[in-house]
Amino acid sequence: MPSSLHRRRLLLLVVAAAALRGAPLADAGADTCKAWLVQSIPTDMPHLSRIPGVLSTGDVLQWLSGNATKSLDILAQYWQFLPQPNNPKSGDYGFSESDMRRFGADEGRRVYKALENAADRKIKIRIVQHSGFAPDFDQESADLAAGRPNVENATVLFEDWWGSGVVHAKVWISDKKDVYIGSANNDWKSLTQVKELGIYFAGCPQIAKTVEVYFQNLWTLSTLNSTFYTKQAWDTQWQVSRKVPCWSHFLQPKERCRSPIPLSVDIPYVDGYPALANPEMIDVSFETPGYKKPTQEHYLSYLSFAPPEVTFGRFQADEQGWVDTIKSVKLGGIVRMNTMDWLGQSQYATQTVYWSSLSSAISEVVFSKNATVRLLVAYWAHLIPNTEKYLKSLLY
């Protein structure tokens, strides 16, 4: 899919939830929140069906719009819910309407319609997005906002703040209690032609509140002129000069500005950043109705975000979230990782940067815990040439 090209990144903007420790709790119940895994599976792949109990992305996105009574906040990289087989600039061009139906493009139309309905019900919709891509860029979100004061659309260009990168998180928050976090873009192909995975939280105000802080910070960035809030920093870890927000820890303390984002003073961890020993834990009891043995368990968990300058010290950075997840494997246990790209280096920085955190974490658990690590990496049209080199380096 041409759109997938745009999913590569320098900065990892995935919002990931990492469950840390589980312990049954007697008085679970009051704030029980429900959590389901959510999948997209390409049509025409009968041998790879959706796992029973796992929801479909298209359904969940329609529910989030359909159930909203007050607010809907959306983080998106780009918009292409509506297929465009007649537009020569679109990747859909050349396919017939019946091809489009077979590919499941109608699901994109349904999700967009549900959003329009929510907009017409006067739900307060806020959208933070990257600029989008050809042929349409952000036309669909602009259409939602046009003539509707209850719909607000904002663009944040990470390259203005960090020199490169995109808003890569795909998040929907409905009524500050129901949340989708996952890999699916606001693209019909992410519903029925690309394998996507996410999580749907229903009735989870505590989770929503945390994700909302991240949303709000990106919203704040969209209102500021980055020219006045960025500086060049020497990154001693990566040995490169980087553009960063002026409150970044990559700057010496006396060079830093006061952050315009609330609470963004301290400490998230990425290579070169101070480590966060105690990320803010979310203490919620989860029900998992889709699981074949439905569970109601009490987990301490945290949400991780990136880049570190918008995670304000209370929340863990994605890089550390992944490292923690790998290192949480038991003695002799198995780590399974599923990813589109695997690269131990930067992809878009002017100077190529070596990035070893994940491969180091893998080596550590293989050596010290006799763990088995299973890594599933996409082999696809836009495979990055160095992928194989980095995979082989894990096998020494």
Ligand X SMILES: *[C@@H]1O[C@H](CO)[C@@H](O)[C@H](O)[C@H]1NC(C)=O
User: Does residue number 223 form part of the binding site for ligand X (CB under 6 A)?
Assistant: no
Stretch that binds ligand X, among 152-160, 187-195, 259-267, 353-361 (CB under 6 A): 152-160
Report in angstroms how near the CB of residue 331 gets to ligand X at its nearest.
8
Q: How far is the CB of 169 from ligand X (least distance, A)?
A: 17
Which of 32, 43, 67, 345 binds ligand X (CB under 6 A)? It is 67
169 binds ligand X (CB under 6 A): no
Q: What is the largest CA-CA distance in the chain?
A: 62
How do strand 33-40 and strand 55-56 relate by DSSP bridges? parallel
Nearest Cα neighbor of 246 from 309, 165, 312, 315 is 309
Smallest distance, ligand X to C-beta of residue 66, A: 2
Residue nearer to ligand X on the CB measure, 110 or 382: 110
3-state secondary structure of 56: strand
Residue 221 CA to residue 257 CA, distance in Å, equals 15
3-class SS of residue 181: strand
Rounded to the nearest whole angstrom, what is the least distance from the CB of residue 119 to ligand X in the complex?
Answer: 12
Among 5, 20, 25, 146, binds ligand X (CB under 6 A): 146
Q: Which of 232, 237, 352, 370 binds ligand X (CB under 6 A)?
A: 370
Contact yes or no for 162/11 (Cβ under 8 A): yes
Residues 304-333 close enough to bind ligand X by CB under 6 A: 332
Q: For 260, phi and psi rounded to 5 degrees?
A: -75, -10
| Interface residue with ligand X, options 142, 251, 377, 378 (CB under 6 A) | 142
- 75 has which bridge partners? 128, 171
DSSP string spanning 257-325?
PPPSSTT--S---STTS---SSPPPEEEEEE-TTSSS--EEEEEEEEEESSGGGSTTTSEEHHHHHHHH
Minimum Å gap between C-beta 111 and ligand X is 11
Stretch of 78-86, 135-143, 164-172, 302-310 contacting ligand X, by CB under 6 A: 135-143
Q: Which residues does 88 contact at the CB level (< 8 Å), separation at least 6?
A: none
Q: Which among 3-11, 153-161, 315-323, 387-395 is the span making contact with ligand X, rule CB under 6 A?
A: 153-161
Supply the Cα-derived Rg of the chain in whole angstroms.
21
Q: Given candidates 73, 92, 136, 138, which one binds ligand X under the rule CB under 6 A?
A: 138
Nearest-approach distance from CB 138 to ligand X, in angstroms: 4
Of all residues in the shown chain, the one whose CB is closest to ligand X is 66
If you count them, how many residues does the chain have?
A: 396
Residue 258 CB: number of other CB atoms within 10 A?
8
Query: Which of 266, 372, 388, 393 contacts ligand X by CB under 6 A?
Result: 372
Among 63, 78, 286, 355, binds ligand X (CB under 6 A): 63
Task: At 220, list the tokens.
Answer: 């704040």
What does the binding site for ligand X look like in residue numbers (CB under 6 A)? 62-63, 66-67, 138, 141-142, 145-146, 153-155, 202, 225, 227, 332, 370, 372
